[in-house]
Amino acid sequence: MKPSDKAPSEKALVPFVSVDHMMQLIHHIGVEEMMSGIAGYIEDDFHRWELFDKTPRVASHSEVGVIELMPTSDGEMYGFKYVNGHPKNTKEGLQTVTAFGLLANVETGYPMLLSEMTMLTALRTAATSAMVAKHLAPKGADTMAMIGNGAQSEFQTLAMKAICGLKSVRLYDIDLAATEKCAANLAAQDIKVVICKTPEEAIEGAQILTTCTADKQNATILSDNMVGSGVHINAIGGDCPGKTELAAGILQRSDIFVEYPPQTRIEGEIQQLPEDYPVTELWQVITGTAAGRTSERQITLFDSVGFAIEDFSALRYVRDQLEATGLYHALDLLADPDDPRDLFGMLQRAAPGNA
Task: Report the alpha-carbon distance of residue 271 to residue 250 in Å, rounded.
Answer: 14
Q: Which residues are CB-neighbours of 267 under 8 A, at least 6 positions away? A: 238, 239, 240, 241, 243, 305
Q: Rule CB under 8 A: is residue 84 a binding residue for a second copy?
A: yes
Residue closer to a second copy by CB (options 19, 191) is 19
Tell me how far, at minimum, the Cβ of 253 lies from a second copy, in Å.
31
Point out which span in 22-30, 266-274, 285-293, 308-316 binds a second copy (CB under 8 A). 22-30
Q: Report how far Cα 22 is from the mean position of its chain's Cα atoms.
A: 15
Tell me how far, at minimum, the Cβ of 84 lies from a second copy, in Å.
2
Residue closer to a second copy by CB (options 155, 257) is 155
Q: Please, are residues 340 and 134 in contact by the beta-carbon 8 Å criterion? A: no
Residue closer to a second copy by CB (options 212, 270) is 212
Three-state DSSP class for 53? strand
Q: Please, are residues 228 and 253 in contact by the beta-carbon 8 Å criterion? A: no
In the set 110, 200, 220, 248, which binds a second copy (CB under 8 A)?
110
Point out which span in 37-45, 117-125, 288-296, 307-315 binds a second copy (CB under 8 A). 117-125
Label residues 220-232 b or e (16+ Cβ within 10 Å = b): ebbeeebbeeebb
Task: Report the alpha-carbon distance of residue 188 to residue 66 in Å, rounded.
Answer: 36
Beta-strand pair 13-17/329-332: antiparallel
Q: Rule CB under 8 A: is residue 220 a binding residue for a second copy?
A: no
Residue closer to a second copy by CB (options 90, 225) is 90
Residues 34-73 that bind a second copy (CB under 8 A): 53, 55, 58, 60, 62, 64-67, 69, 71, 73
Could you give the residue numbers annotated as active site? 239
Task: Report the alpha-carbon distance of residue 142 to residue 243 in Å, rounded.
Answer: 29
Q: Rule CB under 8 A: is residue 352 a binding residue for a second copy?
A: yes
Q: Rule CB under 8 A: is residue 347 a binding residue for a second copy?
A: yes
Task: Report the alpha-carbon distance of residue 48 to residue 196 in Å, rounded.
Answer: 41
Q: Rule CB under 8 A: is residue 204 a binding residue for a second copy?
A: no
Provide the mask over 148-187, with x wherever binding to a second copy is found by CB under 8 A and - wherever it is not.
-xxxxxxx----------------------x--xx-xx--
Residues 276-335 that bind a second copy (CB under 8 A): 331-335
Q: Please, are residues 119 and 125 in contact by the beta-carbon 8 Å criterion? A: no
Residue closer to a second copy by CB (options 72, 207) is 72
- Comparing CA positions, the residue from 347, 327, 351 lying closest to residue 339 is 347
Point out which span in 108-116, 196-204, 233-241, 314-322 binds a second copy (CB under 8 A). 108-116
In the set 32, 82, 230, 325, which binds a second copy (CB under 8 A)?
82
Q: Rule CB under 8 A: is residue 116 a binding residue for a second copy?
A: yes
Three-state DSSP class for 301? strand
# chain residues binding a second copy, by CB under 8 A: 86
Q: Which residues are CB-neighbours of 247 under 8 A, at least 6 positions away? A: 220, 222, 223, 224
Tell me how far, at minimum, the Cβ of 339 lies from a second copy, in Å.
7
Tell me how far, at minimum, the Cβ of 80 lies from a second copy, in Å.
6
- For residue 149, which phi and psi values (nearest 5 degrees)? -115, 40
Q: Please, are residues 153 and 218 in contact by the beta-carbon 8 Å criterion? A: no
Point out which span in 35-43, 95-103, 200-208, 287-295 binds a second copy (CB under 8 A). 95-103
